[in-house]
Structure 1
Amino acid sequence: MSTGKAFEYATAMSFYIHVNHQGGQVQIVNDIYFQNVKSSFDALGVNDKNNLMSAAMSAALEVFNLEKNLQDMTNNLIIRIAPDSYGEIGDVRDVILTKDDWEIGISCKHNHQALKHQRLSNRIDFGNEWAGYPVSQNYWQNVQPIFQMLQTYRNGGVNWRDLPNYGISKEQDVYIPLLNTFLNEFNQLDEEHSDLATRFMEYLAGRKDFYKFVMDRNHRVVTIYCYNLHGDLGIGGAVPFVPLPTNFISKSWKVNINGSQSTNTLIIEMNHNWTVGLRLHSAASLVETSLKFDSQPIQIPNSLLTIQIPY
């Protein structure tokens, strides 16, 4: 059961309910992806369902105010849930709204603001996946021994917390060497490809424009972030354009509050006020042969319209 998936259902239903109440034409694509999020919603208690619907409806009504195409009730609105595989190609939208040749999407986040959770592994070519530029053989040669070691402990059913019993430090023997190799390769790709910053941020933030709904249940506030990176939102000027970065300012290790260097987080600073943190981690207790980046926005452009709505 995923509250995030349930929030996707609540968002899709909020658009459906509002258009229906206004007498407009609307339909939901009732496929396996919709059934998946519906199951997550149905598994919740009444209070949780009401909270999600209240937050989603508040945000959906605000998007209606920004989008003239949604206000036009004469054309049929089709609502569908995006498959998770979209995220792998840089399309972060969860709920997609379509009218004829017009389309917008919503990214739904419950109690977190992460951009993406992309992975590193012995098979994932991050350069090609993120930007269309393959990594070098040197990168593969440097990461393979680390992942081969992880595979050995994975096969033995070893937990991360037990690695010190085998003389292995998760930070010193896995995170730091992996991130050093990643950073060296990232810098090399940057030297070879002048548009890497643009492609990198587009992959993280979204190759398709979208509204991000971030529900904060503790404060009963839903925040809408309007990622109008290509000028497709609020046609007519209701939503400001947000420029993607064109170059990197710095790529470095995070410095902790006490002045020490982080063992798992990189800070990527770009022009146009884009800064993101890449924290390498594993959420599993058992040793894994791939690791996740928790990609968090640290700074976003001032032109990115942000709307907070109590619900």
Structure 2
Amino acid sequence: MSVKSNNQGRAYEFACLNTLHEEISKYRVSKIEKNSTYEAAKRAWNTLEESEKNIYRISALAGTNTILELEPLILDDGDGELELKLQSDDNGQDGDVRDVLIIRKDIEWEIGISVKHNHFAVKHSRLSKGLDFGKKWYGIECSDKYWTDIKPIFNYLDVEKSKQTLWKDLPNKEDDVYMPLLLAFKEELDRQNEFANIAKMLVEYLLGEFDFYKVISIDSKRTTQVQSYNLRGTLNQEGKKRKRSIKLPVASLPTRIVSLEFKPDSKNTLELYLDRGWQFTFRIHNASSKVESSLKFDVQIIGVPTSIVSIDCKWK
């Protein structure tokens, strides 16, 4: 991710956090925890032009209004203070993809929001010569065959890294790096799938261990999309006095892998199809201009069950 894209993402988190605070404060006491992540987001916000800030505010307000309709407990009766906070990116590595937390300690309740600006990526996990992705993602260690298969690929990258070679100068990075590494990854998933239900565990890893809303600003369409990932039924609870605008269904996790193959005419992307409507792509790519001995996945959701509710909120 470029510095500009990273700043835009953090700035949009700042806009969403403060818009939530402003709207909630009209009805109850609300405070923002000003931690180091908040300060980083504030710095990113201050890099924007005023015209950009206005767009971010409008987008954030559209998403906030929908969240307040779906989550009556935010504004429901109670004298307790409501707390808002931004989470560190490290939480995503530990299984929590939520960027913004909305917390009411008086009723021991919280929900979270994953905030995206003009992209729909799920995870940016890495593969490297020493990283056991199976163990890290869902607790199943990779096989000796996997380590044997990837060793020559990363040995090659180590040599090129020592020369300070640029990725663009590799003679054939798709055939020498991307495709064999993805093939080793695919074959390891196939092996693991023979003795464990990795379909369910894989989606739980990709989406995190907590239910959440995803709020995505699509600036070109002047739309904020709100998606509900209510996998455990913790979202959308009724308040004592305030009621939800719609009832969100609980989404079912997959039980099996239907297909895992290379995307047609591609050497850097796998397509994963699971039952119950789940579909993902795994695109492998280099994350810097110079050759490194690790690569990143850009994981995208390309299909979800009908129980994942998506609401397009047009900007006013």
Same fold? TM cut 0.5 = yes
Matches within 5 A, 1:132-281: 132-164=139-171, 169-194=172-197, 196-236=198-238, 238-255=247-264, 261-281=265-285
- TM-score, with normalisation over the residues of structure 2? 0.92
- Equivalent residue number for residue 52 of structure 1: 56
**Counterpart Cα distance in 2 of 1:113 and 1:208:** 18
Shift of 1:186: 0.6
Provide Cα deviations, 1:129-175, integer angstroms capped at 9, x if missing partner.
211111112211221221121111112110111111xxxx1011111
Partner secondary structure for residue 281 of structure 2: strand
Once superposed, which parts of structure 1, at least 4 consecutive aligned residues long, lie more than 2 Å away?
none
Tell me the C-alpha RMSD between the 2 structures: 1.2
Q: Percent identity?
A: 36
- Equivalent residue number for residue 122 of structure 1: 129
1:96 aligns with 2:101: yes
Q: Is the 8 A contact 1:25 1:73 kept in 2?
A: no
Q: Is the 8 A contact 1:278 1:293 kept in 2?
A: yes
**Residue among 15, 37, 61 paired with 1:33:** 37
Matches within 5 A, 1:274-293: 274-293=278-297
Provide Cα deviations, 1:70-99, integer angstroms capped at 9, x if missing partner.
022532111111111111122111111111
| Structure 2: tracts of 5 or more residues without a match | 239-245
Partner secondary structure for residue 267 of structure 2: strand
1:301 aligns with 2:305: yes
- Equivalent residue number for residue 91 of structure 2: 86
**Counterpart Cα distance in 2 of 1:203 and 1:304:** 17
Provide Cα deviations, 1:243-277, integer angstroms capped at 9, x if missing partner.
1111111111111xxxxx31011111101100101
- Equivalent residue number for residue 241 of structure 2: none
Partner secondary structure for residue 192 of structure 1: coil
**Counterpart Cα distance in 2 of 1:19 and 1:109:** 21
Partner secondary structure for residue 174 of structure 1: helix
| Structure 1: tracts of 5 or more residues without a match | 256-260
**Counterpart Cα distance in 1 of 2:19 and 2:187:** 46
**Counterpart Cα distance in 1 of 2:85 and 2:53:** 20
Q: Is the 8 A contact 1:267 1:275 kept in 2?
A: yes
**Counterpart Cα distance in 2 of 1:147 and 1:208:** 34
**Counterpart Cα distance in 1 of 2:54 and 2:208:** 29
Residue type at the aligned position of 2:104:
K
**Counterpart Cα distance in 1 of 2:258 and 2:164:** 42
- Equivalent residue number for residue 19 of structure 1: 24
Provide Cα deviations, 1:29-77, integer angstroms capped at 9, x if missing partner.
1111110111101111111111111111111111111112102253211
